[in-house]
Amino acid sequence: MLPSSAWSTKNGSKPPYKDPQPSQPNTHQTQSSLSLSKMAFSLLLIKFIVAGLSMAAFVAGNFNGEVEITWGNERAKVLNGGQLLTLSLDNYSGSGFQSKKEYLFGRIDMQIKLVPGNSAGTVTTYYLSSQGPTHDEIDFEFLGNVSGQPYTVHTNVFAQGKGNREQQFYLWFDPTTAFHTYSIVWNPQRIIFMVDNIPIRVFNNNEAIGVPFPKNQPMRVYSSLWNADDWATQGGRVKTDWTKAPFTASYRNFNANSNSTNSQTTEAWQTQELDSSGRNRLRWVQQKYMVYNYCSDSNRFPQGLPRECKRPRFLR
């Protein structure tokens, strides 16, 4: 999504399966019944193997079946039989894709390896969004920087067409040398942004005090890589070095676990919240790596900070 301003842009696990044991024949069991018993067990085992393979395919995700390229032509590529997707940016165009399905609540995971080297001016986005002037949106955006300087992870939440709820972070690792998992947990109570399963931000449902919350509009998953050197890096002071093009970001293991894709009603994401360990990790991230918080920007809100800003910083 192309921005109108610098601020408006664009497991849970289950119990392990224990193989059923075939019943032992008694002294009166015939060879025929034993063969039938073995056959029944073999069919049962095959059934579970097939089910396990299906679940593995669901968890790993396959871009051929899950997403469609929306722009950039050959700059967006699905590789390795659908297990890898790359987006590229050159001085003519960026590229992007979107999910084929819409989701109303769920947990969305994506492993991303960001543009390496001098990525100044580039923005890699990964977000959920509905459509229209009163759209809802949940954003991860990765703002590139000159070599050796950290990426800025920009997060935002839109509800009913209004955003202005940005928090920004540095990461505690180099996101360009390996894949890392970026997750959005979205349920009726809260939105949790996570990096490698570590929460970096929580946006709670504060409708009780008049704060809009995205809960009625299904959203698709979007991702793009594009040039935003008018604002992305150090407020636009550092421009894109096109001699380094093409810039490439890589994606794998897209997983969308939602009521829209899974009929089960006991998934952990539906009521997920932070336990004491999660809250401690969240405080650690926000104390050490947060570089911007809209709730601390009184100059931006001369009429008063948003209502949710009165809540504890780590649980807004």
pLDDT tens for 259-300 read: 765 544 557 888 899 999 999 999 999 999 999 999 999 999
Residue 166 appears among annotated catalytic residues: no
For 202-233, what is each residue's pLDDT tens digit? 999 999 999 999 999 999 999 999 999 999 99
158 phi/psi in degrees, rounded to 5: -110, 140
132 phi/psi in degrees, rounded to 5: 100, 170
**Confidence at residue 59, expressed as pLDDT on a 0 to 100 scale:** 47
CATH 2.60.120.200 assigned to domain 63-257+268-309? The reply is yes
Residue 137 appears among annotated catalytic residues: yes
> What's the gap between Cα 40 and its chain centre?
42
What count of Cα atoms within 13 Å lies in the side-chain half-sphere of residue 173? 12
Among candidates 150, 96, 81, 163, which has minimal Cα distance to 119? 150
**Confidence at residue 316, expressed as pLDDT on a 0 to 100 scale:** 61
**Confidence at residue 25, expressed as pLDDT on a 0 to 100 scale:** 35
**Confidence at residue 310, expressed as pLDDT on a 0 to 100 scale:** 85
Assess whether the previous peptide bond of 133 is cis (omega < 30° from 0): no
Looking at residues 85-100, what average pLDDT do you find? 98
**Confidence at residue 39, expressed as pLDDT on a 0 to 100 scale:** 41
Active site residue: 66, 68, 137, 273, which one?
A: 137
Looking at residues 231-243, what average pLDDT do you find? 94
- Supply 166's token pair: 């940005």
Please tell me what DSSP assigns to residue 116.
Answer: P
Torsion of CA 291, 294, 300, 304, to 10 degrees: -140
pTM exceeds cut of 0.75: yes
Active site residue: 66, 68, 141, 267, which one?
A: 141
For 129-179, what is each residue's pLDDT tens digit? 999 999 999 999 999 999 989 999 999 999 999 999 999 999 999 999 999
Residue 251 pairs with which residues in a beta bridge?
85, 112
**Confidence at residue 281, expressed as pLDDT on a 0 to 100 scale:** 97
For 52-74, what is each residue's pLDDT tens digit? 333 333 345 799 999 999 999 99
Whether residue 22 has pLDDT greater than 80: no
